[in-house]
Structure 1
Amino acid sequence: MANIFGASAEHLAGLVPLLLGWTPDQFWCATPEELTGLFRSLEDHETGLGSSLPLDHSTFEQLKEAFPDG
């Protein structure tokens, strides 16, 4: 089980900066639910199942400033 988790985390750690522009700290602070939601949104957009576009980096940064987690 540990090998599967490690391999999955390594894979996602490489994808998230490319797809979302996140820093390593942003990736490691995200919850599994947040990552799942983001990837599901991207998948829905790609397949045409989603009703809205995924956030672009600029909009995401604006939302983070407007709603800081502290």
Structure 2
Amino acid sequence: MADDRLAPGALALAGVMARVCGWRPGEFWAATPAEVAAVLAGWRGDDDGGGGIDGAALAAMMEQYPDG
């Protein structure tokens, strides 16, 4: 039955998203499949060749949006 396969896969993916990007369970469950795919694509490096973000831009973003 499909219901038997969804829960273990979803829990495993929630764990991956927690490790990869620090998402809490509520953030994972609120995300769309497209958002999860976009985050994982960027993490893996196959993000349409957009070039990513440079160190200065990352530092500015971290200053503007600090953790905690």
Q: TM-score range by the shorter chain?
A: 0.5 to 0.7
The list of structure 1 runs, each at least 4 consecutive aligned residues, that deviate by more than 6 angstroms after superposition, is none
Which runs of no fewer than 5 residues in structure 1 stay unpaired?
63-70
Identity of aligned residues (%): 25
TM-superposed CA distance for 1:6, in Å, is 1.4
Write out aligned runs for 1:50-65 (5 A).
50-53=49-52, 59=61, 62=65
TM-score computed with the length of structure 2 as normaliser: 0.61
Q: CA RMSD, aligned part only?
A: 3.0
1:24 maps to 25
Output the amino acid matched with 1:17: A
TM-score computed with the length of structure 1 as normaliser: 0.60
1:68 maps to none
- Equivalenced residue count is 58
Q: Higher Cα Rg: structure 1 or 2?
A: 2
2:10 maps to 9
